[in-house]
Amino acid sequence: MIKMIELNKLKLLAQGGQAEIYELDENKVIRVLRNKEDEEYLKVELSVMKSLKEKDKAVPTVYEYRKIEERPSLIMERLNGDSMLEQIRKSPLQILNYAERLATLHMEIADSAEGLGLISINDRAAHLIPKSELLEPKLKEFILTILSEMPRGNDICHGDFHPGNIIITKGQYYVIDWFGATSGNKLSDIAHTYLILRNTPRLPGITGFQNFIISRSASVISGRYLSTCAKLQPFDRSEFSRWMVIRAAERVFYGSPFEKEALIKFLRKCWNAQASGVQANRWWQFI
C-alpha cells in the first residue's frame, strides 16, 4: 500500500519558479510542481535523469513519479551539500578551478537523446522567437534565418546549465534541474551557458562596487569555462556565435526582465555586424 504524503506536514527545503522541494526523510526529497499543466515537462525530466543515471552520469537518483495532492511530483535522492555557486562565493580564489570543473562536467554529461522523446532545440526556438514582442520584425527575420541554417543534433541539452544547478556533496558533483531538457546540438547548450555566465545585469539593490565585483567574476568564470570547453572539444566559433544569437533571442522571450536589455543590444550588434561584413566568428565577443 502506498503511503499517503501530506505536504503541509513536510519541511519545505527550497522553492523556485517551477517547483517546491520538500524533505521526505534523511535520504529523499520530493520535487513538487507548482503548475499541473507542466506535468509533461516533469515526465521528460524523469526520463532524462533515469537514462543518464543508468549510464553512470552525474545526476541524482530518481525513485518514483507520483501525484501528491493532485500535483505532479518526483521522489528523488537527497543531496546534502552546497551548489557550485555557493562554493564560489565562499572560496572566490578557486573560481578558475570551478570554471574548469563546470566545463568538464558539461562535457561529461553529454549523451544521446535517442528514444527520450525530447523536443528539438531548433523547433522550440522556432516556436518561441516569433512570440517575442521586444524584438522588431527585421531582427526576428535575421535570427530566424540563422536558425533555419543551423544543423540539428541529437545530444541531450540541459537547457539551464550553470553553477547554481550543480550540487557538490562529499566531493561529488551532481547536475540537477533537467526540467528544460531538449535534444539538439551540444554546442547550443554550451552557447547558452556562456550567455548566462557572461550576461550579468545590474540588479536592484546592488551597489556600484558590488556590481563591478559580480561582473568581473562573471567575466573570469565565463572566459575560463569557454576556453576549457574548446580544449576538451574544439568547435567552430562562427557556429558558436550563431547559437548564441538564437539562445539570446529565446531568453528575450522567457528570461529575467533584468537581462533582456543587454541581450537585445547583443542581438542588434550581431545584426549590424553582419550588415557591415563582420564575420560571425567574432559575434560572440559582443556580449
268-280 pLDDT, tens digit each: 999 999 999 999 9
Percent above pLDDT 70 for the chain: 94
Taking only the tens place, the pLDDT of each residue in 252-266 is 999 988 899 999 999
DSSP class of residue 201 equals P
Q: Mean of the pLDDT values across residues 64-78?
A: 95
Pairwise pLDDT comparison (8 vs 240), residue with the higher score? 240
**Contact, 247 vs 287, CB < 8 A?**
no
Pairwise pLDDT comparison (207 vs 104), residue with the higher score? 104
Distances (CA, A) of 83 to 98, 159, 192: 11, 17, 19
Taking only the tens place, the pLDDT of each residue in 144-196 is 999 999 999 999 999 999 999 999 999 999 999 999 999 999 999 999 999 99
E-strand stretches of 126-249: 155-157, 166-169, 172-175, 182-184
Is residue 203's pLDDT more than 60?
no
CATH 3.30.200.20 maps onto the chain at 7-77
Please tell me the chain's helix, strand, coil percentages from 3-state DSSP, rounded to the nearest 5.
55, 15, 30
Taking only the tens place, the pLDDT of each residue in 23-50 is 999 999 999 999 999 999 899 899 999 9
Percent above pLDDT 90 for the chain: 85
Is residue 1's pLDDT more than 50?
no
Residues 263, 271: Cα–Cα separation, whole Å: 12
CATH number of 82-286: 3.90.1200.10
Residues in the chain: 287
Q: What are phi and psi of 210, to 5 degrees?
A: -60, -40
E-strand stretches of the chain: 11-15, 19-23, 28-33, 62-68, 71-77, 82-83, 155-157, 166-169, 172-175, 182-184
Half-sphere exposure of 62 (CA within 13 A, CB side): 26
**What pLDDT sits at residue 110?**
87
**What pLDDT sits at residue 154?**
95
Cβ burial, residue 7 (10 Å; 0-12/13-18/19+): middle
Query: Domain 7-77: what homologous superfamily?
Result: Phosphorylase Kinase; domain 1 (3.30.200.20)
Is residue 79's pLDDT more than 50?
yes
CATH 3.90.1200.10 maps onto the chain at 82-286
* Grid coordinates belonging to 114: 535517442
pTM: 0.92
Distances (CA, A) of 9 to 4, 33, 82, 166: 11, 17, 25, 28
